[in-house]
């Protein structure tokens, strides 16, 4: 397979079944390893009532044990440099994230403990507002006073801030206090699908200006249109028309969509179809490679 792949968000780590090989998942390591090079940000997620630092650490420990097994095709990476080394060695570069700051106790002490274990990306909220930030799903406000202190401190620690799931007010507050680029790991264009989780043109343009990026998600309600591969391309083209050649990546949200996905892409193995569709549409292969891999890797270099 000629296509590279660096995806910004999946929930495969916390979906039922083994991560190395599991046909009931939308993504596992063996299928991901068919892309060369391959990298993935693996989110730790659970329902808010169960989200706590203990859950994150238990999940991370299980992940590290799986990566340590003989013949495992992935390795944990803590920097873009380590990811490039993994690529040179023919291995998947695996990054750990937490989806919802409850998983680090909404505190710097909790974040430091997780960062030592390998956490490198933090989505501030999931679908409920918390002590740091307002969520899009419940119509929350922006950053709290604690959140305004937390964001730059987290970035100084080398943790990338993910604004997906945050309210629009949270988005703008984060950009106001951030000292490094931030990204939206799985959010599409609201101009094409009027969903509260999608980005307005002003938001995406701000990500471009500040060195961030946005990962195109495959969740049908975020896609709208035909909820298929042409719809995925339409969201990409909309962001590209805003000047996003270096700011569009993939954030498929595999195993986090209640079994749903864009028609024609049932799992990670089918992303080859999306890559081919880009080329069939006449896109330069360099642009396809940037969206599939280079843009997110460049963001990680800036953010970490």
Confidence (pLDDT) at 87? 97
Beta bridge partners, 160, equal: 121
Q: Over the stretch 140-176, which tens digit does the pLDDT of each residue have? A: 999 999 999 999 999 999 999 999 999 999 999 999 9
User: Could you tell me the two tokens for 262?
Assistant: 């864009």
Count CB neighbours of 254 within 10 A.
27
Q: Over the stretch 58-87, which tens digit does the pLDDT of each residue have? A: 999 999 999 999 999 999 999 999 999 999
- pLDDT exceeds cutoff 60 at 1: no
- pLDDT exceeds cutoff 60 at 116: yes
* The three-state (H, E, C) secondary structure of the chain, written as one string: CCCCEEEEEECCCCCCCCCCCCCCCCCCHHHHCCCCCEEEEEEECCCHHHCCHHHHHHHHHHHHHHHCCCCCCEEECCCHHHHHHHHHCCCEEEEEEEECHHHHCCCHHHHHHHHHHCEEEEECCCCCCCCCCCECCCCCCCCCHHHHHHHHHHHHCCCEEECCCECHHHHHHHHHHCCCCCEECCCCECCCCCCCCCECHHHHHHHHHCCCEEEECCCHHHHCCCCEHHHHHHHHHHHHHCCCCCCEEECCCECCCCCCCCECCCCHHHHHHHHHHHHHCCCCHHHHHHHHHHHHHHHHHHHC
Is this model's pTM higher than 0.95 or not? Answer: yes
Cβ pair 122, 152 in contact under 8 A: no
- pLDDT exceeds cutoff 80 at 260: yes
User: Could you tell me the two tokens for 2?
Assistant: 């000629």
Cβ pair 124, 170 in contact under 8 A: yes
User: Could you tell me the two tokens for 135?
Assistant: 């969520």
Confidence (pLDDT) at 2? 74
pLDDT band at 91, cuts 50/70/90?
Answer: very high
- Mean residue pLDDT of the chain comes to 97
Confidence (pLDDT) at 210? 98
Spatial separation of the C-alpha atoms in residues 183 and 140, rounded to whole Å? 19
Cβ pair 78, 118 in contact under 8 A: yes
Report CA 298 to chain centroid distance, whole Å: 14
Q: Over the stretch 169-193, which tens digit does the pLDDT of each residue have? A: 999 999 999 999 999 999 999 999 9
Q: 144 phi and psi, to 5 degrees?
A: -80, 175
Q: Over the stretch 229-241, which tens digit does the pLDDT of each residue have? A: 999 999 999 999 9
């Amino acid at each position: 397979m000629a296509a590279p792949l660096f995806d910004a968000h999946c929930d495969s780590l916390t979906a039922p079944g083994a991560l190395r090989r599991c046909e009931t998942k939308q993504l596992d390591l063996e299928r991901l390893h068919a892309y060369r090079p391959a990298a993935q940000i693996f989110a730790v997620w659970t329902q808010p009532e169960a989200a706590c630092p203990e859950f994150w650490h238990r999940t991370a420990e299980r992940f590290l044990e799986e990566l340590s097994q003989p013949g495992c095709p992935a390795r944990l990476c803590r920097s873009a440099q380590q990811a490039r080394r993994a690529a040179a060695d023919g291995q998947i570069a695996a990054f750990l994230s937490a989806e919802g700051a409850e998983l680090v106790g909404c505190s710097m002490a909790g974040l430091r403990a997780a960062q030592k274990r390998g956490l490198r990306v933090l989505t501030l909220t999931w679908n409920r507002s918390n002590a740091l930030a307002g969520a899009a799903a419940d119509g929350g406000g922006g950053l709290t006073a604690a959140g305004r202190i937390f964001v730059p401190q987290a970035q100084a620690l080398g943790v990338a801030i993910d604004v997906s799931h945050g309210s629009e007010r949270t988005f703008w507050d984060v950009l106001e206090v951030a000292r490094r680029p931030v990204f939206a790991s799985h959010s599409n264009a609201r101009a094409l699908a009027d969903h509260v989780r999608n980005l307005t043109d002003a938001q995406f343009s701000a990500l471009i200006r500040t060195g961030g990026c946005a990962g195109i998600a495959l969740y049908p309600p975020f896609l709208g249109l035909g909820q298929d591969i042409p719809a995925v391309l339409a969201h990409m083209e909309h962001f590209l028309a805003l000047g996003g050649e270096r700011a569009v990546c993939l954030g498929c949200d595999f195993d986090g969509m209640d079994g749903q996905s864009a028609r024609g892409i049932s799992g990670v193995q089918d992303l080859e179809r999306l890559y081919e569709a880009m080329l069939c549409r006449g896109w330069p292969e360099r642009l396809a490679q940037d969206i599939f891999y280079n843009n997110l890797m460049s963001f990680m270099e800036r953010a970490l």
